[in-house]
Amino acid sequence: MSEKVIIFDTTLRDGEQSPGASMNIEEKMQMARQLARLNVDVIEAGFPIASEGDFLAVKEIAQEIKGPIIAGLARTTKQDIDRAWEALKYAERFRIHTFIATSDIHVKYKLRKTREEVLEDAINAVKRARNYTDDVEFSPEDAGRTKLDFLCKVIEEVIKAGATTINIPDTVGYTIPWEFGDLIAQIRNRVPNIDKAVLSVHCHNDLGLAVANSLAAIKNGARQVECTINGIGERAGNASLEEIVMAIKTRKDLFNFVHTDIKTEEIYRTSRLLTQLTGLIVQRNKAIVGENAFAHEAGIHQDGVLKEKLTYEIMTPESIGRSSNELVLGKHSGRHAFRNRLEELGYKLSEEQLNEAFKRFKDLADKKKEIYDEDLQVIAGELSLSMPEAYTLEYLGIIGGTGIVPTATVKIRRGDQVVQQSGCGDGPVEAAYRAIDTITGIPGRLKEYSIRAVTKGKDAIGEALVVVDFDGQLISGKGSSTDVIEASAKAYLNAVNKVVMKRGLKEVKDEGP
């Protein structure tokens, strides 16, 4: 009988912590709904004490999302644990995930504590969390560099205190697959009460080995993996969910002792949604979800695939839900069909949003012959995410061409006021951004910029994704239009609106994991 590997998704916590990946509450809700459709077992929704925004997001996810267990992160302090519970208590099923570093480097330099104090803090935290729930996870941070004797002692004691999941993080992505696999085997051999808890792993990708390490851990008895969509996360990221899941599925011959419950057909959509929400583009050749992952370019490969797919294809694009680009609706489609399709795609729009979305759909259908799922996702995504926007683009005019200094004229609404400014730049996008900066008085430095066609065809919607640096704060933004300069201006303004909103929320700044 094959055992289940619990998929613990930390996209909204560890993933969201990475620069440029921050999401507002509506965006997190949308991601959480999609993670539930993907059928992950646990959603780590955030770190409730880190900021008011994090707290509210965890609380809303706990209130709405049914199915997966909702987890919240907490250090070992009473305040952290209580705050996590405050946010999580509404969930159908919830987990408090508490952690403290155990490696000598962290204990000595970061925590400035003794090992005895760390052990005591860990035990007390688990006991406190157990007063709130019987689902408590403990992580000895930097376990990958912790002395084995101390690691085993901590694990044994926290299990006695009531921890039901023990998570082994390779926090700095330092270990090598056979070393990490061996660590898991040693823990299983040396901790006498280890069978009373689920053994989990959490691997970072600094050496590009996070997925390999996670698979080695499964081979040695780990039955939960912590991972993120597209592998986003601190520094080089976390282990990528889609890679782990598809490795287990594709190599059933080697992994016949385990399975996951992930609906793999939802993988591609989840990956795309995350890119849309954060602006973090997936590299073209990324395994499973990269643009080229199923593209056969070399003639010899194409020839092979045409004769027999198995020659170069170890899994099908359909198995991750990638056959899309389906023509779904046309100019004559009615409101009913439109609403149905949006619901199938997982969007929950209010009546008012639906009216606006339908109007935009009709406008688009007038400009563009064929409407695909991706077009609908852009329209609905924009509306279902629309937070109260401080600034909205009313008008954009561009003068440009060979030998002309590109100049943009922009009109922006803020409340009842409409302000107009012009700007020049090396290109039309820069000119538009300069004009926007002058109007808002919130200058940003463009760190990343990309534009892509959402679907095929010259008339496709262009989707611009930007990451902007506002005084050291990296904020992503997105915008779409059949006019790419307008899409670019909207994306920039979207980032400005997020920074306005963020600055409005009181940050309870604290030291993160």
Q: Which of residues 195-254 bind ligand KIV (CB under 6 A)?
A: 202, 204
Residues with Cβ < 8 Å from 277, sequence gap 6 or more? 23, 27, 30, 31, 381, 385, 476, 478
Kindly tell me which of 20 and 512 has the beta carbon lying closer to ligand KIV. Answer: 512
To the nearest 10 degrees (0 to 180), the angle between helices 428-440 and 484-504 is: 30
Q: Applying CB under 5 A, does 44 fall inside the site for Zn ion?
A: no
Kindly tell me which of 139 and 278 has the beta carbon lying closer to Zn ion. Answer: 139
Kindly tell me which of 76 and 171 has the beta carbon lying closer to ligand KIV. Answer: 171
Of 56-64, 167-175, 190-198, 252-260, the segment contacting ligand KIV by CB under 6 A is 167-175
Q: Taking CB within 5 to 8 Å according to partner kind, which of Zn ion, ligand KIV, none is near residue 99?
A: ligand KIV
To the nearest 10 degrees (0 to 180), the angle between helices 177-190 and 148-161 is: 50
Residue 484 Cβ vs ligand KIV, minimum distance, rounded to whole Å: 38
Total number of residues that touch ligand KIV (CB under 6 A): 10
Residue 513 Cβ vs Zn ion, minimum distance, rounded to whole Å: 6
Q: Applying CB under 6 A, does 141 fall inside the site for ligand KIV?
A: yes
Q: Applying CB under 6 A, does 169 fall inside the site for ligand KIV?
A: yes
Which amino acid is present at 366?
D
Q: Applying CB under 6 A, does 54 fall inside the site for ligand KIV?
A: no
DSSP 108: I
Total number of residues that touch Zn ion (CB under 5 A): 1
Q: Applying CB under 6 A, does 171 fall inside the site for ligand KIV?
A: yes
Q: Taking CB within 5 to 8 Å according to partner kind, which of ligand KIV, Zn ion, none is near residue 141?
A: ligand KIV
Q: Minimal CA–CA distance to 97: which of 132, 66, 63? A: 132
Of 165-173, 341-349, 433-441, 473-481, the segment contacting ligand KIV by CB under 6 A is 165-173
DSSP 405: -
Q: Which of residues 87-106 bind ligand KIV (CB under 6 A)?
A: 99
| Residue 510: CB atoms within 10 Å | 13
What gap in Å lies between CA 433 and CA 398, rounded to an integer? 12
| Residue 293 near residue 491 (C-beta atoms within 8 A) | no
To the nearest 10 degrees (0 to 180), the angle between helices 351-367 and 373-384 is: 140
Q: Taking CB within 5 to 8 Å according to partner kind, which of Zn ion, ligand KIV, none is near residue 266?
A: none
| Residue 371 near residue 364 (C-beta atoms within 8 A) | yes
Paired strand residues for 72:
46, 96
Of 166-174, 216-224, 290-298, 441-449, the segment contacting ligand KIV by CB under 6 A is 166-174
Q: Taking CB within 5 to 8 Å according to partner kind, which of Zn ion, ligand KIV, none is near residue 231?
A: none
Among 34, 139, 175, 494, binds ligand KIV (CB under 6 A): 139
Q: Minimal CA–CA distance to 475: which of 442, 444, 505? A: 444
Q: Taking CB within 5 to 8 Å according to partner kind, which of ligand KIV, Zn ion, none is near residue 106?
A: none
Kindly tell me which of 171 and 480 has the beta carbon lying closer to ligand KIV. Answer: 171
| Residue 170 near residue 177 (C-beta atoms within 8 A) | no
DSSP 106: I
Kindly tell me which of 144 and 479 has the beta carbon lying closer to ligand KIV. Answer: 144
End-to-end Cα spacing for the chain: 37
Kindly tell me which of 143 and 398 has the beta carbon lying closer to ligand KIV. Answer: 143
Residue 14 Cβ vs ligand KIV, minimum distance, rounded to whole Å: 5
Residue 73 Cβ vs ligand KIV, minimum distance, rounded to whole Å: 6
Q: Applying CB under 6 A, does 375 fall inside the site for ligand KIV?
A: no
* Residue where the block lists tokens 């709904």: 33
* Residue where the block lists tokens 């403990």: 138
Q: Applying CB under 6 A, does 14 fall inside the site for ligand KIV?
A: yes
Residue 359 Cβ vs ligand KIV, minimum distance, rounded to whole Å: 44
Structure tokens at 225: 């993996």
Q: Minimal CA–CA distance to 74: which of 102, 44, 104, 53? A: 44
Q: Apex CA 382: angle with CA 381 and CA 384, to 5°?
A: 65
Q: Cα torsion for 35, 36, 41, 45, to the nearest 10°?
A: 60
Residue 206 Cβ vs ligand KIV, minimum distance, rounded to whole Å: 11
Instruction: List residues binding ligand KIV (CB under 6 A).
Output: 14, 99, 139, 141, 167, 169, 171, 202, 204, 513
Instruction: List residues binding Zn ion (CB under 5 A).
Output: 14
